[in-house]
Amino acid sequence: MKFILKAAIVCLTLSNSALAQNKRNSLAQSVFKTVRPFVFQIKTALGPESPKASYGSGFVVHEDGYLVTNYHVVSQSVQEPNKYKMFLIDGEETLEAKILGVDIIHDLAVVKVDKKFKKVLKLARRMPEQGAKIFSVGLPKDLNIAITEGNYNGVVQSGIYRRVHMASPLNSGMSGGPTVNKHGNVIGVNVAVLISSQNISFSVPVEFVKKIMARTIVKSNAKGASLNDEKPKEFDSMIAKQIKQIQFSLISDLERSKGVHLKLADWTVRKPSKILKCWSTNGDDEDGYYQSVREICYLQEGAFIKGKMTTGSYEVEYNTFKSSRLSPWQLLSLSARTFNQSNIFSSVLFNDFYLKDDLLTKFSCAEKKLVNKNGVPILVNYCLRAYVKYPSIYNIDFKLITLTKDKRALVMSAGLSGFTMGNIKKFMEIHINGIKVN
């Protein structure tokens, strides 16, 4: 009797599990049926019959032929409009798509095709509860339109960048497709996965979809826009304005906590902003000749421009050295090796090779000695390069080494992308003057 009862419990468990699985499958099928008619492949190519140079997904947001996708899906056409065009693939039909608006901060773009749609995807009024089922639809690996299931884990923020955190598998090609709730309403736009993670992916919150639609579609309708109305040069000024908006936010965040400092071994330094992710390691010499601490902090997000180039981000690294067994000269020689091996030289060498001249100018480098407001003698080395399309915006790598004549030293390096000269100077002054001997 006990055996029969146990078997019945097992069968009941299996039956309930099967029912739950069927219910999940039914929900995914229902969502896919709702969303599928409004999702299309968006490709970048030389012409309608040419092989794709890149591709992603997009979805219908307005009956008059407007779709939303990612900026990085259309970036080649934005950056090289005389070379690349955008197309929407609708079965056997290829329609030319015109880019009407871009938002590099949130990686969004609005495109338009000469086609009327009977319906559009609805945008959600509110985000789901954490843990709720969500679904991503797109064209993974240039295969069929597909749906993946995951869970909503809230919205994460890194500086000015906000992303929906999903426990959901995404693949290349699904970028620009919709992330939807169980009703098939859009809560975000598929954008990225976290490398070397297990199903950690991100989408752009729907609030920013609504904002770019309000700016782009209303303006476009007011102008009676056709596929030939927008001029490529308008995007240069639009993107430049957005880059400046990012760096203004980052510098404002830095200035708000201007007087906050951090003790790092025998040094006081500028405390990293809370928006940065920081890691600290102990690098003491195994034979006990010196003690060393390394701290590196970086912004996890950046704004995509094109290819390997991103902007609107920065990172800071400190290395401290102390010794009772080495002479001041020996310790300076030790810390100088770290100074000379910092990322600045690899940037100068490799960025000139990988990044084309149409994106950035060549590095211009300089070096100078100074004494900061706390009386610490410092050697500073920096290399600057300008954005070709976006005047008054620069990338800079700079590093410094303290020149105190005692048995301690500090090396700092930093890299900034997408900053004006005025804000670069503010950044450097804040960090240089934040250095003090304890």
Q: What is the pLDDT of residues 348-396, one digit of tens each?
A: 444 544 555 578 998 899 999 999 999 999 999 999 999 999 999 999 9
The string of pLDDT tens digits covering residues 241-283 is 999 999 999 999 998 876 788 899 899 999 999 899 999 999 8
Q: Is 373 exposed, middle or buried (0-12, 13-18, 19+ CB in 10 A)?
A: exposed
Average pLDDT, stretch 414-429? Answer: 96
**What are the residues facing 3 on neighbouring strands?**
none
Orientation angle between helical segments 233-256 and 421-432, nearest 10 degrees:
20
C-alpha–C-alpha distance, residues 8 and 38, integer Å: 46
C-alpha–C-alpha distance, residues 395 and 365, integer Å: 12
pLDDT value at position 356?
A: 53
Nearest C-alpha neighbor of 270 from the set 373, 359, 136: 373
pLDDT mean across residues, the chain: 86
The string of pLDDT tens digits covering residues 96-154 is 999 999 999 999 999 999 999 999 999 999 999 999 999 999 988 777 888 999 999 99
pLDDT value at position 355?
A: 52
pLDDT value at position 410?
A: 94
The string of pLDDT tens digits covering residues 335-351 is 888 888 765 445 544 45
Domains of the chain: 31-230 (2.40.10.120), 241-437 (no CATH)
pTM of the model: 0.86
Higher model confidence: residue 102 or residue 327? 102
CA-based R_g, the chain, Å:
26
DSSP H helices in 131-232: 206-223
pLDDT value at position 17?
A: 53
The string of pLDDT tens digits covering residues 69-84 is 999 999 999 999 889 9
Instruction: Name residue 221's amino acid.
Output: N
Higher model confidence: residue 236 or residue 233? 236
Q: Quote the percentage of the chain above a pLDDT of 90.
A: 60
The string of pLDDT tens digits covering residues 402-412 is 999 888 999 99
pLDDT value at position 368?
A: 95
